[in-house]
Structure formats: structure tokens, C-alpha cells
Amino acid sequence: MQQIVPPYLLDRIAHAAGPRFPLAAEAARRALLREPPARLGIEPLHDLPSLLPDVPSSPDRRISDAEGRESLPGRLVRREGERATGDDAVDDAYDGLGDTHRMFDRVFGRDSIDGAGMPLEATVHFGDRYDNAFWDGERMVFGDGDGEIFRGFTDSLSVIGHELAHGVTEHTAKLRYQGQSGALNEHVSDAFGALVEQYSLGQDAGAASWLIGEGIFTDQVQGRALRSMLEPGTAYDDDVLGRDPQPGHMRDYIETSDDNGGVHLNSGIPNRAFALAAVELGGFAWEHVGRVWYDVLTSGRLPIDADFDRFAAETVRSARERYGADSGEERAIARGWAAVGIELPAPEA
Amino acid sequence: MDVIVSRSGGLAGLRLTWHVRVDDQPDSDDWYVLIEQIPWSEPPPLPPEPDRFVYRIRCELQDSAPASRAHDATLAERQLTGPWRKLVDLVQDRTEPERAAPTRRPTR
């Protein structure tokens, strides 16, 4: 279906124009809904029409409540299609899983974590003032935070996307959670977490914050988020927390035995390469760098213990395959890696 | 003896350290009994799980104690069970954590 108003603009109007221009917003929403769903599995991905955040997907969500204990899964409190419970953690997790499922389904043609519609399960209210969220191999688990530094983990869509992306990595490239391959595992979760947030907001790469975990700190913390993909090391600088320790260049790579070899620290380096390439290309990041990264994850060519150099080389190779040799996409991605100190050998013609 | 617990990892990648001087505790004998109960050389094997905490537990000696009583073990969060969990709970109960920058190893 051809439309004279580009879908991203419709999306902006549908989402942002409501208070001032309610009729325009309603019209834009209706126009967006007329877009027919893509016939996934028939057309190759790059032939899909412009993809729209408003087109629903069909997740199978199950949210459980651990009721402050550290036992899983907890009590099932909201299943797919059931009404909001009024518990913000439950309902935010439910909505966030829906947004994440929609991006993977509509953009990458991947139905759920395993690509075969597996249920998306989450447990909220895990533990007592528990300061973390994680993926345990079967479900996403969210603590409530201590209320002093962290105010909970379900507020941030990039965090929910991050956790679910760990599941996708586990079902695809299986990057080993140690050292550089572990930092790549973390990077992939940050990248897709950011894309989920951008997709749900209809936000282009230039307008995006590139922050992970915006809104999970309390007001008492001097900081915007957990991490900045575009400017690693700048997400927070606080009397209690200290300063964001993430490096954004190979010269600052941190060798440590903490945190499985610094997986949450050194992920800043590939994060910055990804964000720089996305910003250089402009437009919607899920439509170019997101596709290339997804190709790499699912290519079967990436070793589980891949280091940064190998991963970078695979992204450039996938960009060539998808967009052609010396395409703008390939060049932007190679420049992104070069900017963080990862120089790739010139590709063979 | 000093017991030092450091927790790293987690989604946020923040590091916390708790430090207790066992000999300053009113129940120091109980601490030594508990520390001896821990199977230091054999934490149960478990692959790392994304975004979960990693605990490093060290028992460091002051000068005169026999060297066999020094311990150092790194555990995944799910491995913290039984006496391991009891020791970490005790340490966290007795002292406030310090936040610290990641410990860097010398580069290569």
C-alpha cells in the first residue's frame, strides 16, 4: 500500500501530536493500522515494507510474582490477553515484553526468543530490595531495587529488551559469557535493548538517547542511566556510585577477573562502534545496523568465543552481503569500529 | 582473620565490597567454625548466567596464623548455598559495603 505521508511521520504524529492535535493523531493512527502485515517467511527480510511500531505481533506472555522471595517462578499473575493488574511492575514487564516481541517479530521476522513462538516468561518482585535484573536461561527476572539507588528495573524498556536479547543470543550465537565474547554478549543485549526502545518510540538514530536503563536510578543519584552506548563512561558520576567506568576505546580496555572478565565494562567498546555507525547512517537504526547485527548473530559463522576483532569482521562481511561491497552501510560500520580502535583488514574484492 | 566479600557483575556491573575483621566480632569462634565448614576447594560447578552477580570470598590472615587457613573462592550467585550463603549473609549483616572501581589486572 502506498502512502503519501511517510510512515515514520505518521508514527510521530500518532504518538506525539495527541495533546495539541487530537484529530491528526487519531487519523495517523488509523492510517498506520491500514498497513497490511508483512508476509513473513515468504519474502526475504530486506523486501519487507517499512515496518511500523503499531502493527501488533502475537506474543505469549506470562508474568509471575516472586512476592519478595528468591524462588522462581513465583505465582503466575498475568497471562496473555488478561487485563492490567494495577501492579506497575507486572504491567510494565507485560508491556515491555510485548514491545520487545514486536520489534523482533516485525523487523527481523523472529517470533519470540527461539524464533518459534516460545512463551515469554518474566518474574517480578524477586527478592528483598534486590538490585538487579537477569535472564536465567528460561525467564527474565526483575528485582524491585533498594529504593535508594535503584527504583526498580521494569521501568526501562531498554532493560527489558536487554534481558530478552540475552535469550535470543543463547538461542543463536551462544556467545560465551566470559572476557571479550562475554562483553559481546552484553553488547548485543544493549544494542537490541536500545533498538526496542527506539522502535517503540519511532525514534531515528539521531534523536535516540542511546542510553541503557534510563529511569532506573532514583532522583538521589547523579546519573542519567546505567550506560551510554554513544558516550561510554558518561552515564553517571555520583558521590556514592562513583563514575561510570565503561571504556569507549580499545586503549582503555579493562583486564579484570571481576564480572566474568569485565563483561559489563568492556561492552562499552562495541557499543560505541554500533552507535557511531547508526548515527552516521541516520534514519532508523533497526533498518540498517540492527539488521546487520542480527545477520551476524544468526549466521552460524560467529564462534562462541569470538573476540572483538572477529565480531567486527563479521559485521562488515554481513553488511557487504546485505548492502553490497563498499556500500554506505559497510563503510559506516567499518568507521565505527575504527573509531574505537578496531582496525579491520581491507576486505577482499 | 579478615573476610572480604566482593560482589561484581549484575546488569549494572557495579562492584561492592564488604570487609569484616573476624577477631573484632563478639562471636568470632562461631565465625571460625563456619569458615572451616565451607568446602573451599570445591565450589559446585555452574556456568555463568547473564547479568547475575559474581561473588569473590576471601579469608585473609594476619601475620601469625597458619597459612592453610587462607581461602579464596569465586562463585556464581546461584552457587551461594549452605555455609557459603551463611557466611555472605553474616558479612553483609555486620558491615556496610564499600563501592569500588573495578580491580584492574596489569595489561597482558
Contact call for B99 and A258, based on CB within 8 A: no
Tens-place pLDDT, residues A44-96: 444 444 455 556 789 999 999 999 999 999 999 999 999 999 999 999 999 99
Residue A317 maps to a domain: yes
Any CB–CB contact under 8 A between A86 and chain B? no
Question: Do A188 and A330 fall into the same domain?
Answer: yes
ipTM of the shown complex = 0.85
Question: Do A271 and A212 fall into the same domain?
Answer: yes
Question: Do A146 and A167 fall into the same domain?
Answer: yes
Last residue of a domain, one of A171, A193, A208: A171
| CB < 8 Å to A189, chain B | 50
CA closest to B51 among chain A residues: A134
Question: Do A296 and A208 fall into the same domain?
Answer: yes
Question: Do A107 and A139 fall into the same domain?
Answer: yes
Query: What pLDDT shows up at residue B33?
Result: 94
Question: Do A150 and A278 fall into the same domain?
Answer: no
CA closest to B108 among chain A residues: A255
Interface test with A, best of B5, B51, B78, B92 (most A CBs within 10 A): B51
Question: Do A30 and A66 fall into the same domain?
Answer: no
Query: What pLDDT shows up at residue A60?
Result: 96
d(CA A300, CA A304): 10
Residue A264 annotated in active site: yes
Give the structural domain span for A216.
179-339
Last residue of a domain, one of A152, A171, A190: A171
Any CB–CB contact under 8 A between A251 and chain B? no
Give residue for cell 524491585: A144
The better pLDDT of the pair A2, B57 is held by B57
Residue A29 maps to a domain: yes
A42 pLDDT exceeds 50?
no
Residue A167 maps to a domain: yes
- Are A191 and A274 in contact by the 8 Å Cβ rule? The answer is yes
Last residue of a domain, one of A108, A142, A171: A171
Nine-digit cell string for A103:
520489534
Which of the residues in chain B have pLDDT under 70? 44, 63-68, 101-108
Of A137, A150, A258, the CB nearest to B15: A258
Which CATH number do you get for residue A322? 1.10.390.10
The better pLDDT of the pair A245, A345 is held by A245
Which residues 27-56 of B have a C-beta within 8 angstroms of A? Answer: 47-54, 56
- The total of structural domains in chain A comes to 3
d(CA B97, CA A11): 47
Question: Do A160 and A198 fall into the same domain?
Answer: no
- Are A93 and A154 in contact by the 8 Å Cβ rule? The answer is yes
Question: Do A231 and A323 fall into the same domain?
Answer: yes
Query: What pLDDT shows up at residue B103?
Result: 62
